[in-house]
Amino acid sequence: MTSLIYRHPRLYRGVLALLYGGALRAREAFVARHVPPGARVVDVACGDGGIRRVLPGRAYVGVDVSPVFVDALRAAGVEAHRLDVARDDLPTGDVVLMLGALYQFLPDVDPVVARLRRAARRHVVLAEPHRNLAQSRHALVRAIARRATDPGVASSTGRFDEASLRALFARHGATEIIATRKELIAVLPGLAS
């Protein structure tokens, strides 16, 4: 069953801001620097599409498996598609984003990353936590965090650590990686023509 935060876009944004704090601002600044004006952006596992507020002058396309998020974006006049990145073809864009959702595809994430790269004409920006409450040494905290971050699809309860993320990014030819206190953010080359 989908957790409460995935059923309400505003609650989702509030929880994200609370959990990430300054790291969320660092992520947004990094993304904004890597999406040139006029670019078509495809935001995969977009949630509430909040990243678009730091991307004025770019054509934004949201992609998510959640009908709640897709319907909310469409109601706001935003192009949005209900797709499962693990199975469905993605729209092509100059820049493809996946911000904090890659853990949902563990343990078999390489095909998902390859699919993102095939949809990007320029590059992919991937941000993924390597520190989060779902990895807490306290069983109760770990259980609550995993339940709260369950998007309601068949997803993994696993998470990345910094070494596994760096290895993944290296396998896919990362041209840049930065670390914040919570996550790694990487730029991977696109493969779309």
Q: Using omega within 30 degrees of 0 as the cis cutoff, is the peptide bond preceding 107 cis?
A: yes
Q: What contacts 30, CB < 8 A, 6 or more positions away?
A: 125, 127, 178, 185
Number of structural domains the chain divides into? 1
- Supply the CATH number for residue 50's domain: 3.40.50.150
Residue 150: give the domain boundaries.
4-189
Instruction: pLDDT tens for the chain, 193 residues: list them.
Output: 445 455 565 655 556 556 666 777 888 999 999 999 999 999 999 999 999 999 999 999 999 999 999 999 999 999 999 999 999 999 999 999 999 999 889 999 999 999 999 999 999 999 999 865 445 465 554 444 445 555 555 455 577 999 999 999 999 999 999 998 889 999 999 999 8
Residue 48's SS3 state is coil
pTM: 0.81
* Burial degree of 132 (CB within 10 A; 0-12, 13-18, 19+): buried
